[in-house]
Structure 1
Amino acid sequence: MFNIEAEWISLLIVGFATLFLVGEILVNAKGIFSILGLGFITVYFSSFLDVGMFFVMILIYFIGLLLIVIDGKVLNDGTLAVIGTVLMIVSVGFASPNWLAGTYAVLGVLIGGISSLFFLKVFKKRNMWTKMTLFDQLTDEAGYSSINQTYKSLVGKTGMTQTDMRPIGTVIIEDQEYSAITQGKWLKKDTEIKVESVDGTRILVKERS
């Protein structure tokens, strides 16, 4: 059993745990990040909980991580990722001995998760959330000039949503299907839309007024 005396240390321990565990999801760190993250989160939970509650709370924490992985690999709409983040926050919050330590722990989850995005600039990223973020943008430099010009010609045109936009979905413009994204707004299927802008193959649409 470990002993955390200062509440603010919860911020560091949970922050590093989430940083490395989410980092392992985002980039290929060959398991090193997962080992570090597991070590930090084990220290946190074992500092405040008996054996029974330790396994319950750490299970909830890792279910949250699993939901994030499923969202990134399968759904790509962010719903399970949000639920997973909430589960992680709940687990560290309820495991804390008082509200101050719990607040620091919750901040650790949020700060660690956000900070893990910096790993994308250094390490090889995994194939996660490709539909939501539309990473595979085609550029003129990559030899896709004709495709780019076709996409750019869509600006200002109208069409209809083929699927629900959450905020990613499929639209039909001039009898052609395209993957598109809204500015965070969810639209139902069969909603009339207008193309606002195009960046590579990233088509930004809005509901036609």
Structure 2
Amino acid sequence: MPHYFSTKSEAVLAESMEHTVSAKGGQFKELALENTDNESVNEGFSEKLAHFLTNPFIIPLLLTLASVGFVIELFSPGFGLWGLAAIIAMILFFYGHLVAGTAGYETVGLFVAGIILIVLELFLPGGIVGALGLFAVIGSLFMASGNLIHMAVSVLVAVTASILVSILYVKVFDRKMNFFKRMILTDQANTDKGYVSNQNRLELIGKQGRAMTDLRPSGTAVIEDERVDVVTEGSFITKGTLVKVMKTEGSRIVVREVT
């Protein structure tokens, strides 16, 4: 009887421990599921946003918005909504690829460096700096992409859209880029505005004077008590010879020997 009682007690104790372990295990499982649900809630929005921004149909839209916004901003005075839209589009592009893991901070740095080089090209001659900047920008886009073919198509769509918008502004709306108008002198100096390149001495035509130097064929003569630089019609005239002004062409005064 004592042996039977001991065996039964052990069986009851074992069964009790099994229920306890099962209950604890259930609590641990519920706690783990709860933590997993919290993590999925916390990370779900950024992951879903990254999946949306890296969609093959969304990438060309972001790049097109950025390029078209930049082009329109060049035709617009000051900095406006289109420039802001272009910046936001590129931020969303790189944010989505950073979260998705296809791009790193070095890719963003290469893109920023390319933009800086392109801006410097506007102030530096040669074109080498601008070409390096363009290659850096395009290279950063391909580095951020997980699919080179999709990125090539997206870049082609964005470039085509920006070219069409530029043609539309120039040919249809007859607009000029305000940014380049600040850098390029567009004013013309003409006679209608009172500008003259050289003073035309028409009043000297027919006047006579004397050569102060030998005219071989150019030299100096005194005409009506004024010392002027003159040139002959090709012949040699010695110093002190009486000369007559035949015509003037700007600052060029043509004389002939008076016989």
TM-score in terms of structure 2 length: 0.44
Unaligned runs of 5+ in 2: 1-48, 198-259
Matches within 5 A, 1:47-62: 47-50=96-99, 53-62=103-112
Does the residue aligned with 2:142 lie in a helix, a strand or coil? helix
1:123 Cα offset (Å): 6.9
Does the residue aligned with 2:156 lie in a helix, a strand or coil? helix
Q: Which amino acid aligns with 1:65?
A: I
| Contact 1:29–1:123 (Cα < 8 Å) also in 2 | no
Q: Which amino acid aligns with 1:39?
A: I
Distance 1:9 1:35, change over 3 A: same
Equivalent residue for 1:37, pick from 86, 111, 124: 86
**Structure-1 separation of matches of 2:192 and 2:131:** 35
Q: Which amino acid aligns with 1:81?
A: G
Match of residue 69 from structure 1: 119
1:71 Cα offset (Å): 0.9
Does the residue aligned with 2:179 lie in a helix, a strand or coil? coil
**Structure-1 separation of matches of 2:182 and 2:141:** 26
Are 1:114 and 2:167 matched, yes or no? no
1:97 Cα offset (Å): 1.7
Are 1:125 and 2:178 matched, yes or no? yes
| Contact 1:70–1:80 (Cα < 8 Å) also in 2 | yes
1:145 Cα offset (Å): 7.9
**Structure-1 separation of matches of 2:108 and 2:185:** 32
Which has the larger helix fraction? 2
1:151-186 Cα distance to aligned partner (Å, 9 max, x none): xxxxxxxxxxxxxxxxxxxxxxxxxxxxxxxxxxxx
Distance 1:101 1:46, change over 3 A: farther
Are 1:13 and 2:62 matched, yes or no? yes
Q: Which amino acid aligns with 2:179?
A: R
**Structure-1 separation of matches of 2:181 and 2:127:** 11
Distance 1:100 1:76, change over 3 A: same
Distance 1:145 1:19, change over 3 A: same
**Percent sequence identity over aligned pairs:** 17
Distance 1:86 1:141, change over 3 A: farther
| Contact 2:114–2:136 (Cα < 8 Å) also in 1 | yes
1:110 Cα offset (Å): 2.9
Are 1:86 and 2:139 matched, yes or no? no
Cα RMSD (Å) of the superposition? 3.7
1:142 Cα offset (Å): 6.3
Distance 1:54 1:26, change over 3 A: farther
- Where relative contact order (Cα < 8 A, 6+ residues apart) is larger, the structure is 1
**Structure-1 separation of matches of 2:92 and 2:119:** 23
Does the residue aligned with 1:110 lie in a helix, a strand or coil? helix
Distance 1:41 1:116, change over 3 A: farther
How many aligned residue pairs are there?
Answer: 144
1:40 Cα offset (Å): 0.9
